[in-house]
Structure 1
Amino acid sequence: MRVSGLIRLLALVFALVATWLFLRSYMNLSKKTIRLPRWLGLAPKKTEVEKTKCGLSKPCPANFFAFKISSGAANVVGPTLCFENEMIMSPVKNNVGRGLNIALVNGSTGHLLRKDSFDMYSGDVKLLVKFLVEIPEGMLVLVASYDDPGTKMNDEIRKLFTNLGSSYATQLGFRDSWVFLGAKDIKSKSPFEQFLKNNPDTNKYEGWPELLEMEGCVPQKVF
């Protein structure tokens, strides 16, 4: 066999082997999912969602306290009071009650002082008056209604809440929804308050308005 013929034969064999290796490699790749970042030698970036205190829609600035207050839903689901990522009162903690649920928090340190619920239907009027009168200086007052907050609320209680910065305490009545954050001896009306009147024409639930949810950032020693 001539040398030129041998070279052509070897070239043909090489071409066939190269084609077979290419097809084999292609078939193996076609059975796998190629992820572009890994193929390029780059690690995929992880999208981290920033966690906020009390699940707020955005974090609070420095020297501000985060809070979220939800009223009860009809007489079925109780209210929640969260402050600086601490769930102070909630149905899960089993420490809420029909009427008004109130927590006192130190406006400088953010520490919880006291929490309690007052049944305004059966008549915890005297207990609530005593509670409100004895609120120490510098306290933030978080309030959430549940079922019926206003049936037996008297003028004295309404005035005490008004002195804490409420704009709606004088209107609060049977089965109204109310959430509020005020303070002892506030010099103006609180910007943190929501109120919804019990109205058969607009109620979301049969006999009750819809629940209210309020979140925000309150500065330390703001009042």
Structure 2
Amino acid sequence: MFETTSALTAIDVNTGRFTGRRGLADTLLTTNLEAAAAIAAQVRLRNLSGLIVVDFIDLEASEHRDAVYQALVAALARDRARTTVLPVSALGLLEMTRQRLRPSLEESLTEACPACRGRGRVAAVRVAACDLLRQLAAEAREFPGCRLTVSASPEVLNLIRTEDRGFLGRLETDHRISLDFIEVPGAAGQRFDITRELQAGGKKV
């Protein structure tokens, strides 16, 4: 589990349902070694940076803790960003820092929530707009000739009506649909709603 705050990123490792066949110590070591490889990959994919604290499952044997530490160091060797990794403590905690090369995945795909004054994250306007366009295209293909009414935040609607105007025009022409837009100021989490009206002989059905 990954949890990012303004101060650090916390990563929690647990065994899940895996119990192993050779005893608890082997199970914990195997789980932590697998987690070390997965953490290195996720750190790169998510573009995490700054202080990162990993809560590995407690290992009593110092050689097991060292094996997990070495596994993580080896897995991070291919990372272009500079990393500093400290050994696993007796409590199972490992601290590391990673150079910031570009915004994290969360920062790229979300923005501060205006409703809670930045304590939460919501989908970025472009991400919400892409989701909306995909759903509009699906509705148009499945229900040609219908009228679609889109309710969304002014930011999302302004974006698609300017930058994606050509795409909307092709949807209307190719699938003979009509599009209406309703601005909903302060729409939570850049959420949107699409209502459909099927028409036959000019009448709603």
TM over 0.5: no
Higher RCO (Cα < 8 Å, 6 or more apart): 1
Larger radius of gyration, structure 1 or 2? 1
TM (norm. structure 2) is 0.25
Higher helix share: 2
